[in-house]
Amino acid sequence: MARKNFPKIRARLTDGSTIAVVGREAMTLILLAEKKDRGLRAYDFPGGPPFRLAAYVCDLRNQFGIGIATSREKHATGEHAVYTLTTPVEIVAVDRGENVGRAA
């Protein structure tokens, strides 16, 4: 079975500091930055929804101090979470595995 490559990214926060994020948290942050005010839903992920999206959002909040709001959206069979950045984040570098062994 082929192993999935997750990105390594560098992002700049509003205070000018940069953070390095890897793995599924990096993919989550990339999509949050792309979605902007529209918000990120689990089904927005390529290849299907991640099973632990709430955990990745929690990691971004707690480990990196990124503000992410959670709202609820109703649908035919219940409701799901919609995540939106409240801290502006600029993605400054993305390594999707082309440079194996080097940091983003």
2, part of any domain: no
pLDDT of 5 above 90? no
d(CA 56, CA 51): 10
Domain that holds residue 26: 8-95
| Helix H or strand E encompassing 90 | strand 89-95
d(CA 41, CA 34): 12
Which structure tokens are listed for 59?
Answer: 């990691």
3, part of any domain: no
Number of domains in the chain: 1
Residue 87 identity = T
Looking at the whole model, is its pTM more than 0.75?
yes
Handedness of CA 46, 51, 57, 63 (dihedral sign): negative
User: pLDDT by residue (tens digit) across 9-62?
Assistant: 999 998 999 999 999 999 999 999 999 999 999 989 888 888 899 999 999 999
* Residue in the structure block whose two tokens are 């992002």: 11
Q: Choose between 30 and 76: higher pLDDT.
A: 30
